[in-house]
Amino acid sequence: MAATAERALGKATSRNGERILGVLAAVALGGSLVLSLVVAPPDAVQGEVQRLMYIHVPAAWLAYLSFAVVFVGSIGYLRTRKTRWDRIAGASAEIGVMFTALAIALGALWGKPVWGTWWTWDPRLTTTAVLLLIYIGYLSIRRISDNPSRTARWCAVVGIVGFVDVPIVHLSVVWWRSLHQGPTVLRLGGPEIEGTMLLALLVGVAAFTLVYAYLMTLRLRVGRLEERAAREALSPVVEPPVEAGV
């Protein structure tokens, strides 16, 4: 099982796999753009501004996925002490921070015309801001590199503990009275959203997932190259043997 996963990861992170993922992600993003801006009808209440949901929701879901990968990578590192797990967790955290920041920015853009404000200290928004801060902190810890194995250990602990906020963010609209709307897709009783709108949303999620996979392969390659550069800089210089009589 682990060997199969390793082989699949190896194939995906090869230069060819990276290129194929890039093309697939670009095509999926194009399809998602057409579905969300042309095919899906405007919302009966919110009008055109609801189209922001087709990128806001996938960005938020991909942030969850990214931090779930950080969680798995952190557990993997603590169990095996293999740097590969730490590299995967670090790469996913960076991408997750980008998706979280994007989800917050898009939510603010939607909030201004619909709620009349860019930002409010609503449970969903506040817990998401906390999530962003947790993983910015995680990335800051990664830069403390006086002892790489200690840094990886600290990061693994933060990666596991920080993930606790993900279900809190998701369920905040159920647990507390919130201005943010409740779940419309992942809810008991099935999605309560019109068919074409649901299709546009799901294609958006699929496209963002492919973008995530592509960015992961690229970010893992950057990690490997940066480690190689650091190894070259730190490896001892082999002095040529001193000739007799010199």
Where does this chain bind other proteins (CB under 8 A)?
Answer: 33, 37, 42, 47-49, 51-52, 55-56, 59, 95, 98, 101-102, 105-106, 109-110, 112-113, 211, 214-215, 218-219, 221-222, 225-226, 228-229, 232-233, 237, 240
Q: 103 and 66 in contact (C-beta within 8 Å)?
A: no
Cβ-based nearer residue to other proteins, 47 or 182 = 47
CB of 1 to other proteins, least distance (A): 30
The alpha carbon of 171 is separated from its chain's Cα centroid by a whole number of angstroms, namely 19
Give the Cα-Cα-Cα angle 151, 157, 159 (nearest 5 degrees).
Answer: 95
- Alpha-helical runs (H) found in the chain: 2-12, 15-34, 53-80, 83-115, 123-142, 148-162, 165-175, 195-234
Give whichever of 132 and 160 is closer to other proteins, judged by the CB atom. Answer: 132
What span, in angstroms and rounded, lies between the C-alpha atoms of 105 and 99?
A: 10
- Nearer to other proteins among residue 100 and residue 160 (C-beta): 100
* Nearest distance from C-beta of residue 95 to other proteins, angstroms: 8
Question: 181-185, long-range: CB within 8 Å, 24+ apart, which pairs?
Answer: 185/57
CB closer to other proteins, 52 vs 69: 52
Closest CA to 107 of 176, 59, 66, 47: 59
**Residue with Cβ nearer other proteins (150 or 224):** 224
Length of the chain counted residue by residue: 246
Rounded Cα distance between 246 and 243, Å, is 6
Cβ 57 to other proteins shortest distance, Å: 12
Report the nearest approach of other proteins to the CB of residue 10 (Å).
18
What phi, psi does 26 have (nearest 5°)?
Answer: -65, -45
Distance of closest approach, residue 164 Cβ to other proteins, in angstroms: 26
96 touches 66 (CB < 8 A): yes
Closest separation in Å from C-beta 109 to other proteins: 5
Q: Which is nearer to other proteins, 59 or 65 (CB)?
A: 59
Angular region, 189: left φ>0, alpha ψ -120 to 50, beta rest = left
CB of 214 to other proteins, least distance (A): 8
Nearer to other proteins, 135 or 214 (CB): 214
CA 134/CA 91 separation, integer angstroms: 15
